Amino acid sequence: MSRESDRDKTLGGLVQNYVAEQCGAILDHWDLLGRRDAASVHPSRVAVRRLRATLRTFRRVYDAGAGDEFAAELRWWGLVLGEVRDLQVLGERFDTEDDPRTPRGRAELFLAAQIARELDSAWQALSDAMNGERAARLHDAIGRWHEHPPFAEHAAQPAGRAKKRVKKAGAKVRARLARVREAAAAGDPSTPELLHSARKAAKRHRYALELAAPVLGASAEDRIERRRELQDAFGEHQDAVVAAEFLGRLDVADEPPDVAFVLGELTESTRRQADDVRGPLDAVQE
């Protein structure tokens, strides 16, 4: 569907162009996921996130009941994909290919084996889900939303009305960032969770900017890039949080002392990164 079509003149057309792109991306990778194609996980998960964010930011464009039901099923599918993707990221994080004869190298082999076992389990869970009725219904729903979206009356408004939703999404990012900074200054233990919440708001703002780019003008790309940079900075922090949780649940009691020592050091350094919210905050522009 062309981003330059006449449908861009209405809010519904503008939003649906973006929704159709994400639906198409999910459908394109669907069968590949069934064959455990590792490269299909990330684009599928991103498309799910973009869809969910759009259904939230531009909720009034579509029938409320249908939109809420679709978003709930997409959330479930995103969680299934997320189990696989998080382990893929962990594998990349700890794959430094040290000499396997050294304590660090043996520690990496230990981590690789743990990740491989959990990843196989996550892939099996994804395969089981794909073979179930819930995934079949979701696949059908994605096809319907791609071709025949359930528009509401709000969809007939001019495309320029998207600017208001983009502005509101941006204001939410700034408010959440301010809250994170206040919490960090006060030593609030909930700061990492608030940082993650700000990251999610930044994603929704970025996706709204992408969607509305045809009506936003020349400034859109620069604003998108700033949000991308914020996502990257906060994403590295979230990856550290996930990694720290993974390392914290490992049982190293049967490992040689030198390997257990390396794993302990790695756990502590990862926890320090997960606890550091000032670094990612200082790295971003609002």
What distance in Å separates the CA atoms of residue 206 and residue 226, rounded to the nearest whole number?
A: 9
**How far is residue 55's CA from residue 212's CA, in Å, rounded to a whole number?**
14
**Average pLDDT estimate for 18-23:** 98
CATH superfamily placement of domain 1-157: CHAD domain (1.40.20.10)
- pLDDT confidence tier of residue 4, bands split at 50, 70 and 90: very low
214's tokens: 């045809």
Token pair listed for 80: 């299934």
- Mean pLDDT on 140-154: 97
The predicted pLDDT at position 6 comes to 54
- In the block, residue with structure tokens 């049967």: 254
**pLDDT bucket at 285, cuts 50 / 70 / 90:** low
Least confident of 233-237, 246-250, 281-285: 281-285
Residue 100: the pLDDT is 79
**Average pLDDT score over residue span 97-104:** 81
Average per-residue pLDDT for the chain? 92
DSSP designation for 59: G
Query: What's the distance, CA 276 to chain centroid?
Result: 21
Cα distance between residue 284 and residue 178, in whole Å: 13
| pLDDT higher than threshold 70 for residue 5 | no
pLDDT for residue 280: 83
What's the whole-number mean pLDDT along residues 75-86?
A: 98
Could you tell me the residue ranges of all domains in the chain? 1-157, 160-286
Mean pLDDT value across residues 148-171: 96
pLDDT tens per residue across span 211-238: 999 999 888 999 999 999 998 889 999 9
pLDDT at 219: 86
CB atoms within 10 A of CB 247: 22
| pLDDT at position 95 | 80
- pLDDT of 1 over the 60 cut: no
**Which span out of 4-8, 45-49, 180-184, 235-239 was modeled with the highest average pLDDT?**
45-49
What is the per-residue DSSP string for 106-130?
A: HHHHHHHHHHHHHHHHHHHHHHHHH
User: What average pLDDT does this structure show over 8-31?
Assistant: 95
pTM equals 0.91
Q: How high is the pLDDT of residue 39?
A: 98
Q: Residues 6 or more apart from 111 whose CB is under 8 A from it?
A: 94, 250, 263
Provide long-range contacts, Cβ within 8 A and 24+ apart, for 107-113: 107/259, 107/262, 107/263, 107/266, 110/252, 110/255, 110/259, 110/263, 111/250, 111/263
**What pLDDT band is residue 286 in, cutting at 50, 70 and 90?**
low
pLDDT digit string, tens, across residues 273-282: 998 888 888 8
Average pLDDT, integer, range 85-93: 95
